[in-house]
Structure 1
Amino acid sequence: MIIDPRLHRITAAQPYPLLFATISGAHLYGFPSPDSDFDLRGAHVLPLPMVLGLDARDETVEDERIIEGLEMDIVSHDVKKFFNLLLKKNGYVLEQLTSPLIVHTTPEHAELKEIAKGCVTRNHAHHYFGFVETQWKLFSQETPPRVKPLLYVYRVLLTGIWMMRTGEVEANLVTLNESFRLPYIPDLIARKLGGPEQSTLDDADLAFHRGEFERLRAELEAAQAASTLREIPSEATRSAINDLLVRVRMK
């Protein structure tokens, strides 16, 4: 993906200095439609007086509107909040941090990505279990069911299985399917990109995909059980993140 120059200008206009800014959402997952909005995600650095005072504010900055003709969904966390989320079983922030669709970066961003390898744990499977249950409910309760939430179901399951097996973060469904080789994924992506007339499924499709959902969910459970990943980040990882936070703040 070539980064639209407007995204650089939008990022530069954010209210606080950014440690990094990346693109998440459908663009990261490998199935953006022409009208997909841009999910800009990042970590910002609040001024020292703001974090030392009694009332913390702007720990999360959100902005959802059309900017320079682009439909934007912007979410950024202050570095302390972002770093604390990394130390929990939060797959969202890992995916945002490691997204290859980079709009803004710094040396500290590169350093954090290396440190964050030690944040990947077996317990991240619980994040993907919870996420996929929500997506499956959205998909199965629709009449008629749509392709888009189904693609999110598969993306979440494959990301979780891959993480448990390899310790790596991979959020792109097209890339994941190069290993999983699910024959129906390319067709589902093509149907989503083909427009509304191709983006719904019939009852036979629903029965098939329910079986696949249950099968892959069981694979995620088995992958978690067999994983050699840590239960929680090590003290060395936590110490490295704390050191980086102090240096970023003082800088």
Structure 2
Amino acid sequence: MSLPADFAPDAVAAIRARLDTARAQGARILFAIESGSRAWGFPSPDSDYDCRFVYIRSVAEHLALEQPRDVIEFPLEGEIDAGGWDLRKALLLALGGNAVIVEWAKSPIVYEEAKGFRERLLDLLAEIVDPARVSRHYLGLARSHVAKIGSFAGEVKLKKLFYLIRPIVALDWMEQRDFVMLPPMNMVDCLAETEIPAKATSEIRRLIEKKRVTRELGTGSIPTEIARYLEARYGHHEMNLAGSVRDEARQARNRALATDFYRREAESP
């Protein structure tokens, strides 16, 4: 696969070695992508490499008395952070509205993939993932980061500010499409497709560019227009975001679609 030109060859080789280790443990890699700030569109010169992958095990391993764990984890070493989920785990989380597997499937940076798998997965996710539940996922992310910064007017670690900007922009993107679609993974793309105050957009883009060339942004006050935007939109979504409507028949249908998909992938050579 084609990777960004600025990806360090040693880092890519280390990631490929971890994927080979996962294969040696009986995992068939369905795809391996870059997640985190590099794929979200706001890397810094010293950003970690966050490789995430989805795998599946053979039918024979499913028939074992003791099932292996549904995650494969590697110790964080230097700038390499790698880990993967069994496809079953990924699909169950997707059914619950967890946006992570959708983001992985949409990542623009791919280390490897089984031919056609991500297209098949995205087609399935479009059927079984409830955008209303995903919006609650993004609100939960925003809520946790608001709790961490404490105040929109106080001092914050500017590097961490992006982890609040990203879900708020995603929520605005979804709201402007009546919460029937899922947002792009890349925050820069999401920002370009979302109507927010022009001054806030300019300050966010300026901060992204500063992070791109700066190893440590340090602490400071949130830029004024960004603070106004985040405070207003967080409050808006906290007050107005609707919950998903429980539809037992649709949930049963979605679970059946996911089950059939999982079985087909497990049985494929």
TM-score by length of 1: 0.82
Residue 216 of structure 1 aligns with an amino acid whose one-letter code is: R
Contact persistence 2:74–2:83 (CA under 8 A): yes
Offset at 1:47? Answer: 2.9
Deviations 1:95-152 (A, max 9, x none): 11221212122223220111111214212111111111112233347x8411111111
The 5-angstrom pairing of residues 1-251 of structure 1 reads 2=4, 4=7, 5-6=12-13, 7-15=15-23, 16-66=27-77, 71-106=79-114, 107-118=116-127, 119-140=129-150, 144-166=155-177, 167-180=181-194, 181=198, 182-195=201-214, 198-202=217-221, 205=222, 209-220=226-237, 224-225=241-242, 235-251=252-268
**Which runs of 5 or more structure 2 residues have no equivalent in the other structure?**
none
Separation in structure 1 between the aligned mates of residue 240 and residue 108 of structure 2, nearest angstrom: 25
Separation in structure 2 between the aligned mates of residue 186 and residue 240 of structure 1, nearest angstrom: 40
Residue 173 of structure 1 aligns with an amino acid whose one-letter code is: M
Task: Count how many residue pairs are aligned between Structure 1 and Structure 2.
Answer: 244
Of all paired residues, the percent bearing the same amino acid is 21
SS of residue in 1 equivalent to 2:79: strand
Deviations 1:61-113 (A, max 9, x none): 111333xxx72211211111111111111011211122121212222322011
Separation in structure 2 between the aligned mates of residue 133 and residue 158 of structure 1, nearest angstrom: 14
Closer, same or farther: CA 164–74 of 1 in aligned 2, 3 Å: farther
When the two chains are superposed, the root-mean-square deviation of aligned CA atoms in Å is: 3.0
Separation in structure 2 between the aligned mates of residue 218 and residue 231 of structure 1, nearest angstrom: 25
Residue 124 of structure 2 aligns with an amino acid whose one-letter code is: I
TM-score by length of 2: 0.77
Deviations 1:161-194 (A, max 9, x none): 3234430331222112213352210121133234
Offset at 1:20? Answer: 1.1
Contact persistence 2:58–2:267 (CA under 8 A): no
Residue 161 of structure 2 aligns with an amino acid whose one-letter code is: L
SS of residue in 1 equivalent to 2:33: strand
Offset at 1:209? Answer: 4.6
SS of residue in 2 equivalent to 1:239: helix
Offset at 1:14? Answer: 2.5
Instruction: Return 100-109 or 230-239, whichever deviates more.
Output: 230-239
**Which runs of 5 or more structure 1 residues have no equivalent in the other structure?**
none
Separation in structure 1 between the aligned mates of residue 94 and residue 230 of structure 2, nearest angstrom: 28
